[in-house]
């Protein structure tokens, strides 16, 4: 393992806290920052976030603060674990606080609707001159916090940075691979949330495993075609941050996107489902961006299109599935045809 690193985690939701516990157990000095003083007070008093990560105690050695200057000062690593909709705002607040070349690891998943930028793009825009990387994969906070075996991928612009992240995060229950494809990793992480909403909707409608398998398989097809058109690597979408992350998000009840989808399938409106889940449902924020990217790169994305119509245009969920089933006939893969 790497020598002790000083790490600040920005964001005290489930994922931020699970990473804090992981890194603490790896022997690193960890600080957790939250923008909400009430959240900081709760963590200091109870050493647990019973809403986002119930049952996981936050060790006393982990410092918790609402002071961003203090959290950002002289750290080896800054981990961005705020919800994607707060990434720009939080990164903007870091201006002037960080040394040139500071390592910032984004662990959130999403695409900004107004700009169609990935989260590492946003961080680079808001705080230029930093070493911005990504850590992603099939990794529910609830399981990482309990030390259940999990695998992720560290994506960075240099091999040296990726391997440093690998060394800091890796443990006997958290395996880290390295990759140069930062864009592909981020697109897989953001777009799978939209497909997971579709999988949840199918569950809410009472459909079965056949339907889910179809959505996962055709969903990764849509994600891959768009991702490759944008410059991501095909192999990335076949890996942990592509099909791996999609499987876990479509299959697990830990998935907020799937849970929201189930409620929508049962007849809830998007707003009602979000309220009921009571946590950030990233797929709702990424759905419009995914559709816009499909149009920009001229990629057909029928599942993502229908998810948008259900979420924002009032299309009945059962009708959306029927529309997908009776689309015009085609081959499964244009590369596998007769001469």
> How many Cβ atoms from other residues are within 10 Å of residue 231's Cβ?
11
Residue 159 neighbours by CB under 8 Å, 6+ apart: 178, 180
Q: How far apart are CA 19 and CA 66, in angstroms?
A: 18
Question: 56 with 32: CB under 8 angstroms?
Answer: no
Catalytic residue among 46, 75, 159, 192: 192
Lookup result for tokens 């990482």? 144
Six token digits for residue 156:
């960075």
Give residue 238's region: left, alpha or beta (phi > 0; psi -120 to 50): alpha
Report H helices in 113-233.
Answer: 119-126, 141-144, 159-169, 182-204, 209-230
* Tally: H helices and E strands in the chain: 16, 8
Q: Which helix (H) or strand (E) holds 22?
A: helix 14-25
Q: Tell how far CA 120 is from the center of its chain.
A: 12
Q: How far apart are CA 223 and CA 3, in angstroms?
A: 38
192 classed as catalytic: yes
Q: How far apart are CA 293 and CA 316, in angstroms?
A: 24
Which residues are identified as catalytic? Answer: 192
């Amino acid at each position: 393992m790497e020598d002790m690193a000083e790490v600040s985690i920005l964001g005290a939701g489930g994922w931020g806290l699970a990473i804090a516990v992981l890194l603490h157990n790896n022997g690193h000095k960890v600080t957790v920052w939250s923008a909400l003083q009430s959240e900081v007070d709760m963590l200091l008093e109870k050493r647990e976030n019973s809403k986002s990560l119930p049952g996981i105690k936050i060790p006393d050695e982990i410092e918790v603060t609402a002071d961003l200057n203090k959290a950002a000062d002289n750290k080896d690593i800054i981990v961005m674990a705020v919800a994607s909709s707060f990434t720009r705002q939080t990164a903007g607040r870091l201006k002037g606080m960080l040394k040139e070349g500071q390592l910032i690891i984004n662990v959130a998943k999403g695409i900004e609707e107004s700009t169609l930028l990935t989260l590492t793009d946003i961080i680079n825009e808001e705080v230029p001159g930093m070493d911005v990387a990504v850590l992603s994969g099939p990794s529910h906070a609830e399981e990482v916090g309990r030390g259940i075996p999990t695998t992720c991928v560290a994506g960075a612009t240099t091999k040296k940075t990726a391997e440093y992240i690998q060394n800091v995060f890796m443990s006997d229950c958290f395996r880290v691979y390295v990759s140069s494809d930062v864009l592909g990793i981020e697109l897989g992480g953001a777009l799978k949330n939209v497909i997971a909403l579709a999988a949840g909707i199918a569950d809410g409608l009472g459909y079965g495993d056949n339907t889910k398998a179809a959505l996962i398989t055709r969903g990764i097809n849509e994600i891959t075609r768009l991702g490759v058109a944008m410059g991501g690597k095909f192999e990335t979408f076949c890996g942990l941050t592509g099909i791996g992350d999609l499987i876990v998000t479509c299959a697990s009840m830990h998935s907020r996107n799937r849970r929201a989808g189930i409620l929508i399938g049962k007849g809830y409106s998007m707003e009602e489902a979000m309220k009921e889940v009571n946590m950030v449902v990233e797929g709702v924020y990424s759905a419009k961006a995914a559709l816009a990217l499909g149009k920009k790169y001229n990629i057909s994305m029928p599942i993502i299109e229908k998810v948008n119509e259900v979420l924002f245009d009032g299309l009945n969920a059962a009708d959306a599935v029927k529309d997908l089933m009776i689309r015009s006939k085609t081959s499964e893969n244009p590369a596998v045809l007769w001469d």
